[in-house]
């Protein structure tokens, strides 16, 4: 049973695990930043599209689907690690998504068989998925810093193969054709919440690394707050009844946390901790409640599990499609504002007039270089390299402050839009609560 849970966790961690590695991947392959997003989108889109067909296949032969899915996932992971081009990486990520769908859906059918109780199987499956998704960025950051981004995929291959031991000698009879339609209310809410969580699991990591210049390891450790909060919340989630109330409370916490990230009073990891706690707790409550609601009383667990997977990953794709344009447009605008504010600081600074235009030119060169590498320039270093006089240190500090403000502010609208997307999930939850059949 733990191995089946581990398999689900590994597969669903893959949704967000490469976020921290994106700058490293950008450095290796000569692609545009917009194209780079396909490293995330391809996996989630493939998983969303393959989940339901994979679930129908898993209903008939769960052991076979789990074994084949796990084997293909391992091979695709190794191809990702050693991909000679970005195109091959995207193709392998797509195969990972399809194989991952097979593993996750078959694991649900197998958990139902092993535990002998559908409700318990659904709970274990949901919690494993939540932990996987929440731990993805942290695991990716630690591996990227210590061993390089390729290690994320190298580690996955043996890890998923180990979980295949769970089905050795296991015989499972095919389950019946599902009689019920998928639970639209719970699945719609899952899609919206997952779309909102894109901001927490993807954009927050980008803010930490590309905006605030944290090392991947430090960023990975910083975002471990979310999975810890999710684990604690999921542990006590069973005590919060009814399910709709738990789901609504979770959604409100997620949206509150995202809104707080949109209104950070200052740049700094410490300011992200309270919002992360809210989002992590909300994630643990909402996803478990909605998944259990979607599977409750359903005869074919694997099939309805497939629908929840499809809903969640369609939500991730929706979130990426909605939030990326907002974020990129704001980033461009805030970069211009920061440049103007920085220029004003240089012109009005106390450094000698003869030095000002030289300093300004050095900064513009640093800005151009950083722009080409899709990172925030270290202008403080440029200014301080010219002199160790206090006027230069003061200028470096004020320029750094403007950059921090711009980087932080560039993410605000995206976090706030994600908060609204999360709140929209309350609609299907409340409609479902009123007994309206959807």
Partner 1 sequence: MRAIALAVVASAALVGTYLALGGASYAPAKVADPCAARDWRDPGGFQEVVEQIVLSSLDGAACELGVSREEVVLAFESRRTRERFAREHGIDDSELERLVRAGLVRAVDDAEQADALNGTTADLLRGVVSRIPVEDLLNLPGVLPGLGNLFPS
* One of 3, 78, 339, 391 touching partner 1 (CB under 8 A): 339
The interface region with partner 1, picked from 21-29, 90-98, 122-130, 345-353 by CB under 8 A, is 345-353
The interface region with partner 1, picked from 22-30, 44-52, 330-338, 385-393 by CB under 8 A, is 330-338
Retrieve residue 30's tokens. Answer: 């000569």
Q: Which is nearer to partner 1, 112 or 267 (CB)?
A: 267
Q: Which is nearer to partner 1, 51 or 406 (CB)?
A: 406
Q: Is 337 in the site for partner 1 (CB under 8 A)?
A: yes
Cα angle, residue 388 at apex, residues 387 and 392 outer, rounded to 5°? 70
Please check whether residue 64 is in contact with residue 83, taking contact to mean a CB–CB distance below 8 angstroms.
Answer: no
Q: Is 409 in the site for partner 1 (CB under 8 A)?
A: yes
Q: Is 341 in the site for partner 1 (CB under 8 A)?
A: yes
The rounded Cα 163 to chain-centroid distance in angstroms is: 23
Q: How far apart are CA 108 and CA 369, in angstroms?
A: 49
Q: Which is nearer to partner 1, 2 or 358 (CB)?
A: 358
Q: How far apart are CA 325 and CA 316, in angstroms?
A: 15
* Segment (H or E) for 167: none
Q: Which is nearer to partner 1, 136 or 275 (CB)?
A: 275
**Helices 269-295 & 225-237 angle (0-180, nearest 10):** 40
* One of 68, 217, 364, 374 touching partner 1 (CB under 8 A): 364
Sign for the CA dihedral angle at 238, 244, 248, 251 comes to positive
Retrieve residue 227's tokens. Answer: 């999975």
Q: Which is nearer to partner 1, 176 or 354 (CB)?
A: 354
* 61 half-sphere exposure, CB direction, 13 A CA radius: 6
Retrieve residue 321's tokens. Answer: 């499609």
Please check whether residue 308 is in contact with residue 298, taking contact to mean a CB–CB distance below 8 angstroms.
Answer: no
* One of 130, 406, 421, 425 touching partner 1 (CB under 8 A): 406
Binding flags for partner 1, 227-266, as an x/- string (CB under 8 A):
-------------x----xx-xxx-xx-xxx-xx-xxxxx
Q: Which is nearer to partner 1, 127 or 410 (CB)?
A: 410
Peptide bond into 242 cis (omega under 30): yes
- Binding residue count for partner 1, defined by CB under 8 A: 49
Shortest separation between residue 271's beta carbon and partner 1, angstroms: 8
Cα angle, residue 283 at apex, residues 80 and 215 outer, rounded to 5°? 50
Shortest separation between residue 385's beta carbon and partner 1, angstroms: 19
Q: Does residue 250 sit in helix, strand or coil?
A: helix
* 93-132 binders of partner 1 (CB under 8 A): none
* 268-307 binders of partner 1 (CB under 8 A): 271, 274-275, 278, 282, 285
Q: Which is nearer to partner 1, 61 or 386 (CB)?
A: 386
Q: Is 414 in the site for partner 1 (CB under 8 A)?
A: no
Q: Is 340 in the site for partner 1 (CB under 8 A)?
A: yes
Please check whether residue 374 is in contact with residue 33, taking contact to mean a CB–CB distance below 8 angstroms.
Answer: yes
Shortest separation between residue 35's beta carbon and partner 1, angstroms: 26
Q: Which is nearer to partner 1, 62 or 256 (CB)?
A: 256
Residue 391 neighbours by CB distance under 10 Å: 14
Q: Which is nearer to partner 1, 195 or 275 (CB)?
A: 275
Q: Which is nearer to partner 1, 63 or 423 (CB)?
A: 423
* Radius of gyration from C-alpha coordinates of the chain: 23
Retrieve residue 103's tokens. Answer: 């593993």
Q: Does residue 182 sit in helix, strand or coil?
A: coil
Q: Which residues bind partner 1 (CB under 8 A)?
A: 240, 245-246, 248-250, 252-253, 255-257, 259-260, 262-267, 271, 274-275, 278, 282, 285, 334, 337-341, 343-345, 347, 352-354, 356-358, 360-361, 364, 402, 405-406, 408-409
């Amino acid at each position: 049973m733990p191995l089946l849970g581990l398999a689900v966790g590994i597969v669903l961690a893959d949704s967000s695990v490469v976020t921290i590695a994106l700058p490293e991947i950008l450095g290796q392959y000569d692609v545009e930043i917009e194209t780079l997003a396909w490293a995330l989108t391809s996996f989630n889109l493939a998983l969303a599209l393959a989940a339901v067909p994979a679930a129908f296949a898993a209903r008939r032969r769960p052991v076979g689907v789990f074994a084949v899915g796990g084997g293909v996932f391992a091979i695709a992971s190794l191809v990702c690690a050693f991909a000679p081009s970005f195109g091959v990486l995207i193709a392998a990520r797509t195969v990972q998504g399809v194989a991952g769908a097979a593993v996750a859906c078959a694991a649900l059918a197998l958990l139902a068989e092993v535990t002998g109780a559908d409700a318990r199987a659904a709970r274990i499956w949901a919690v494993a998925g939540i932990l996987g998704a929440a731990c993805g960025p942290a695991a990716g950051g630690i591996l990227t810093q210590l061993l390089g981004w390729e290690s994320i995929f190298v580690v996955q291959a043996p890890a998923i193969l180990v979980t295949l031991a769970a089905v050795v000698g296991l015989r499972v009879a095919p389950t019946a054709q599902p009689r019920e339609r998928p639970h639209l209310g719970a699945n719609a809410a899952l899609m919206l919440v997952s779309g909102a969580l894109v901001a927490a699991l993807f954009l927050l990591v980008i803010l930490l690394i590309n905006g605030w210049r944290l090392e991947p390891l430090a960023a990975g450790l910083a975002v471990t707050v979310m999975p810890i909060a999710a684990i604690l919340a999921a542990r006590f989630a069973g005590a919060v009844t009814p399910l709709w109330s738990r789901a609504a409370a979770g959604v409100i916490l997620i949206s509150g946390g995202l809104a707080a990230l949109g209104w950070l009073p200052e740049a700094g990891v410490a300011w992200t901790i309270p919002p992360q706690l809210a989002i992590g707790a909300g994630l643990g409550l909402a996803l478990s409640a909605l998944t259990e609601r979607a599977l409750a009383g359903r005869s074919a667990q694997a099939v309805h599990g497939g629908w929840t997977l499809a809903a969640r990953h369609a939500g991730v794709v929706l979130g990426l499609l909605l939030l990326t344009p907002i974020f990129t447009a704001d980033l461009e605008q805030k970069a211009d504002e920061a440049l103007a504010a920085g220029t004003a600081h240089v012109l009005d600074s106390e450094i000698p007039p003869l030095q000002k235009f030289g300093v300004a030119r050095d900064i513009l060169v640093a800005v151009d270089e950083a722009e080409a590498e899709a990172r925030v320039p270290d202008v403080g270093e440029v200014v301080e390299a010219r002199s160790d006089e206090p006027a230069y240190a003061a200028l470096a500090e004020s320029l750094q402050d403007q950059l921090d403000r711009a980087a932080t502010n560039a993410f605000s609208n995206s976090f706030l839009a994600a908060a609204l997307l999360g709140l929209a999930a309350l609609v299907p939850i409340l409609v479902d609560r009123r007994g309206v059949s959807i």
